[in-house]
Structure 1
Amino acid sequence: MQRRAAAIYVAFFLVVGAASFSLIATASAPQLSFENPDHSLSEGESITVDGEEYLVQDISAETEEGELTRSGTLNTTNESARYAIEWANDSTVTYDGTDWTVSTDNESETFTLTEEIDRAAILQNDSDVENETTTVDGQEYVVERASGNESRELIPVDEYFPAPETREYAVGDEIENVENETVTVASVTTDAATLEYFAPETTEIAVSDEANVTVGSTTYFAHFPDNSTMVLTQEFETYDQYEEEVAMQTTMTNGLWGVSILSGLSAFFLLGLAYLPSRY
């Protein structure tokens, strides 16, 4: 009788465990879908938000350590974005292939570029003079090399080196080929001269799967149902409901696993007890 009763209970627990496991195996995961998304886009398609056009630049899917991650990129182009360049007072800038010293005049709203003379290069290229200047009684000179019995001649630097070129610009003037652009002098202060130009500017927006993204002044929930579609929607409550269903299924699955494992252990324990030798 003991073994018969044990066999009945073992069979009962095995049936319960198998039933729990079959429920786990056949249960389907909740699916995230939106009935009326604001936008369902493919690569190359665009939307208009706040009067600006946003293009789906790319949609990608990557698998890392067995986990699939989808993402995408939106971009928008401002055809007339303002760019500003500042030339600080007393700084050195390179323009038109030459180094210049910047001097600003706030009162007249002008600034002056003064060419920087490369004295070291000029001296090295002139075999008739020393490579370094010398100072005598506070005056700087270029030293001419001695020839034969002739003594060295001292040439004042202002006489030897060429006078630097100067260029003056006022607010409103245009300057060509500054960083490959034609710029306009926008303002001049004691601190700096500000140059500006207008050109297209592209802004990129990274879009992650199952995350919020702000496009213009509008916040959307982004979802990639497959490897080629980007869904933008404001049905946030649908995603909240989906998360609740996922959490509920996780709890149920964990419970069923517990039933399966406990049933199997119980059946094994009862089977062992049934075959223990009797003391009587």
Structure 2
Amino acid sequence: MQRRAAGVYVAVFLIIAAGAYSLIGAAQEPTIEVDNPQKTLESQGQNVTVDGRQYNVTSLGGGSAEVAWTNESARFSKTLSNNTTVQYQNETRRVVIPNTSDPNRATLREVQNLSNDTQTVTQNNETFVVTNGSQGNKTLVPVDEYKRQQFGEPNTTTLQQGNNFQFANNSTTVANITNQSVVLRWTAPKTNTVSISDGSTVTLGPNNKRFVAHAENGKMLLSTNVKAYNEQKSEIAHFNERIAGLWGVTIISFLAAVLLGMLGYLPNKG
């Protein structure tokens, strides 16, 4: 009787496992379809325009892409702190700001460096260069005087708040001067890049138009119908959840049938 009941349960569980497995085999996973995409990225080097802004496809492949556009009048700024150095006109210049409460001027002064074999000494907080006199005696020359003798007067450029000057090949405005720093501002072209990957959303164009990206056959399709795309993704996720459940039913039912078969046909004691 025990074996007969076990056989019935084994058959039931095997039928359940087979039924679930057959449903897995018959089910077809839904796919994402993007109908009438607003933009299609087809090849590297392609130009794409969104609301008047032109993008260049700099890379495409492997389910991702990158596009670049140039802002011809991007704003830049740089802060020059007092007593720091900066490159200007192929020279190293030091930023010198007057020690006043509200300065409106600053100076970029050429840095004149002593050679490595120049001997210096410091006395009473003043630096001197040790030079050899005509009679072989040593002479101390103040370092600033020595530099003037060797290099001449250092090149200087005066910066006045509100004025423009050429800096890093750009017309630059001296926006603000304090006793701590000088703020420079200018406009220049700037290249901006946007990375796009399959399934991601990106904003393009001056009006920040929102697109969803879908990789297909080596291309990248861009659609503004983000809602429809997300609904299709939700359908796929729900489908996979159901398939995972059917696999669970199949495996558990098969293991239950095996276990019942083993227990039901154990030899009787005695």
Shorter-chain TM-score bucket reads 0.7 to 0.9
Report deviation, 1:141. Answer: 5.2
Partner of 1:52: 53
- CA contact 1:41–1:231 (8 Å) conserved in 2: yes
**TM-score scaled to structure 2, two decimals?**
0.73
Partner of 2:115: 121
SS of alignment partner, residue 94 of structure 2: strand
- CA contact 1:110–1:188 (8 Å) conserved in 2: no
Report deviation, 1:16. Answer: 4.1
- CA contact 1:117–1:164 (8 Å) conserved in 2: no
Q: Which of 243, 247, 258 is 2:237 aligned to?
A: 247
Equivalent-residue separation in structure 1 for 2:204 and 2:46 (angstroms) = 15
Change (3 A) 1:50 1:194: farther
- Find out whether 1:219 has 2:210 as its counterpart: yes
Partner of 1:19: 19
Partner of 2:74: 81
User: Gapped runs of 5+ residues in structure 2?
Assistant: none
Change (3 A) 1:12 1:193: closer
Equivalent-residue separation in structure 1 for 2:92 and 2:266 (angstroms) = 100
SS of alignment partner, residue 255 of structure 1: helix
Mapping for residues 1-280 of structure 1, pairs under 5 Å = 10=10, 13-43=13-43, 44-61=45-62, 70-104=63-97, 110-118=105-113, 120-121=114-115, 124=117, 131-133=119-121, 135=123, 142-145=129-132, 152-155=138-141, 160-162=146-148, 163-169=152-158, 172=163, 174-175=165-166, 178-179=167-168, 181-187=169-175, 189-191=177-179, 192-195=181-184, 198-216=187-205, 217-226=208-217, 228-268=218-258, 271-272=261-262, 275=265
CA RMSD in angstroms, aligned pairs only: 3.9
Equivalent-residue separation in structure 2 for 1:139 and 1:242 (angstroms) = 78
User: Gapped runs of 5+ residues in structure 1?
Assistant: 62-69, 126-130
Point out the structure with max Rg over C-alpha. 1
SS of alignment partner, residue 115 of structure 2: helix
Number of paired residues?
Answer: 259
Letter in 2 for 1:250: N
- CA contact 2:112–2:154 (8 Å) conserved in 1: no
Change (3 A) 1:135 1:188: same
Report deviation, 1:98. Answer: 3.2
